[in-house]
Amino acid sequence: MAHLAWRLAQRWCPSSLQVISFPVVQLHLNRTAMRASQKDFENAMNQVKLLKKDPGNEVKLKLYSLYKQATEGPCNMPKPGVFDLINKAKWDAWNALGSLPKETARQNYVDLVSSLSSSLESSSQVEPGTDRKSTGYETLMVTSEDGITKIMLNRPTKKNALNVEMYHEIMHALKAASKDDSAITVLTGNGDYYSSGNDLTNFTDIPPGGVEEKAKNGAVLLREFVGCFIDFPKPLIASGQCPALGHLPSPSLGYSIAVYASDRATFHTPFSHLGQSPEGCSSYTFPKIMSPAKATEMLVFGKKLTAGEACAQGLVTEVFPDSTFQKEVWTRLKAFAKLPPNAMRISKEIIRNREKEKLHAVNAEECSVLQGRWLSDECMNAVVNFLSRKSKL
């Protein structure tokens, strides 16, 4: 099922709606004097699920609000907090319909869907088996082909720093990949950095509850994010051709991520430099995999490892020359994707399940410690120094 169709079918669950920066799509509502019947309304709902192209956030909000108004009447939900951006956008859209009668909302919904169906391609025109390419993500490119779902971080101008939207989108993409018909999932980055870790501007957006609330929200988000990796059921492969900082070099998450790196890649977890502490379960997995002394160099002193060093330490599965990296990796991935998917999933489960509870506990503890670190002068100074261009890693 196409990604968008899934999302539409869910009527935009809060975690999947990107509201902020889609271009506004001009709507040409075809208002008719006729009243839409319940059957027309249901047909329109089904039609929405068949849309292949993303109509844009503005339109999705409109559809959402009309649907809610048509089925429940005027907005009856408490207003979400300013930081709950997605739910707030949905609430605003619904609330803006005021006391619009249910029948009119139903008619407007039907008209809107009809105008979309004529202007956007519907999935019935897509040949079965056509490769899927996501259109609904702002910060990722997600494609699925040959039994492989590829999740590519796609903020190359920001060195693929993870902003809040990207955290949510990665979680969404992982959840979708866990249910799609691909056998394996690959995580990679677009541009000259696999990722530069947490987007440090995340720290600048302070909610009314102040920095304490910010830190608390960050810890909740990080715990959920890392939890998605721990629980991901299929084989997950990180494919990195270039340097990686922070989160995503915690490759041993869940003990079941294979990591392929080019000889140009480096792995760097500069937590102390940033006044922070280990995350991604690295405080538990790195010392087990590398040895406590080597893990200390990396996690406490922020030692950057070359791909060769990381491979020697067991953090990386295999290193390839940069010039042949893509060919080598994709040859392997395509072969893995032909293996029986259930056998791979079950094998992963049996490897991981012994450690799963422990990993969730470590994750919770790391996030709680980090919550405190984010309020420290050490962390705030490091972020200010980066943002004021005084420091780089």
Ligand X SMILES: CCCCC/C=C/CC(=O)SCCNC(=O)CCNC(=O)[C@H](O)C(C)(C)COP(=O)(O)OP(=O)(O)OC[C@H]1O[C@@H](n2cnc3c(N)ncnc32)[C@H](O)[C@@H]1OP(=O)(O)O
The footprint of ligand X (CB under 6 A) covers 158-159, 161, 193, 196-202, 218, 221-222, 245-247, 270, 274, 276, 279, 386, 392-393
For 267, the token pair is 């792995």
Residue 298: CB minimum distance to ligand X, A: 12
What does 163-195 look like in DSSP terms, one character per residue?
A: -HHHHHHHHHHHHHHHHSS-SEEEEEESSS-SB
For 364, the token pair is 């919770």
127 burial via Cβ count (<10 Å: 0-12, 13-18, 19+): exposed
Residue 174: CB minimum distance to ligand X, A: 16
| Between 27 and 221, CB nearer to ligand X | 221
Residue 59: CB minimum distance to ligand X, A: 29
Q: How far is CA 64 from CA 48, 74, 96, 345, in A?
A: 11, 13, 12, 36
| Between 17 and 166, CB nearer to ligand X | 166
In contact, 198 and 160? CB cutoff 8 Å: no
Residue 151: CB minimum distance to ligand X, A: 18
In contact, 262 and 320? CB cutoff 8 Å: yes
228 burial via Cβ count (<10 Å: 0-12, 13-18, 19+): middle
| Between 254 and 278, CB nearer to ligand X | 278
- Could you give the CA distance from residue 214 to residue 71 in angstroms, rounded to a whole number? 35
| Between 307 and 337, CB nearer to ligand X | 307
Tell me which H or E stretch contains 306: strand 305-306
| Between 85 and 245, CB nearer to ligand X | 245
| Between 147 and 275, CB nearer to ligand X | 275
| Between 40 and 199, CB nearer to ligand X | 199
Q: Are strands 257-262 and 236-240 parallel, antiparallel or unpaired?
A: parallel
Residue 29: CB minimum distance to ligand X, A: 39
Residue 372: CB minimum distance to ligand X, A: 13
Residue 214: CB minimum distance to ligand X, A: 10
Q: How far is CA 103 from the centre of its chain?
A: 37
